[in-house]
Amino acid sequence: MEPLTEHRQVSGPVVYGFLRLVKVPAARHAALAASLAEYCRTHELRLSGVFTDRDVSSGRDSAAFTGLLDVLALPDVYGVIAPAMSHLGPKAIAAERGRWIEAAGSRLLLVRGPRTAHPPVTYHGPVRRRSPGTIRVLDAES
């Protein structure tokens, strides 16, 4: 009988991590890198490296992001993993970088997906509360 796939040494799709860490303690950096590794382990992905952007003034063309785009051109690279979209930079830059990743033929995977908007709460006037023992009974004629 053959062992299950989960019990074999199977190499998953290759991904590269990206972190934007400006003025972050080493413990936070280690925790974020570990979260990327754990995500890859549980989703059967092979984390081949992590690019870290530490320069707040680098804008769209940071050395770390340029290096990431270079490795995305390698054969058999599946995608990029980041803890959240904010790790790609401020909103405008993150959106542009996301497009560049997709243009390179790679997928952008986020450990924490984008926040979903909650449906609006509708207010219908004052709330009347009944005691737990109250039951509304309707007559058959009403």
Answer yes or no: is 101 within a domain.
Answer: yes
From the list 114, 94, 101, 113, the residue with the least C-alpha distance to 39 is: 113
Answer yes or no: is 106 within a domain.
Answer: yes
125 — pLDDT class (breaks 50, 70, 90): low
Over the stretch 38-60, which tens digit does the pLDDT of each residue have? 999 999 999 999 999 987 776 67
Residue 59 or 140, more confident: 59
Answer yes or no: is 123 within a domain.
Answer: no
Answer yes or no: is 26 within a domain.
Answer: yes
Instruction: Note whether 69 and 104 are within 8 A (CB).
Output: yes
Answer yes or no: is 44 within a domain.
Answer: yes
Tell me the sheet residues that pair with 50. Answer: 17
Answer yes or no: is 10 within a domain.
Answer: no
Number of domains in the chain: 1
Answer yes or no: is 45 within a domain.
Answer: yes
Answer yes or no: is 87 within a domain.
Answer: no
Q: Which domain holds residue 40?
A: 19-77+92-110
Report how far residue 72's alpha carbon sits from residue 74's, in angstroms, rounded to the nearest whole number: 5
137 — pLDDT class (breaks 50, 70, 90): very low
Identify the pLDDT of residue 5: 53
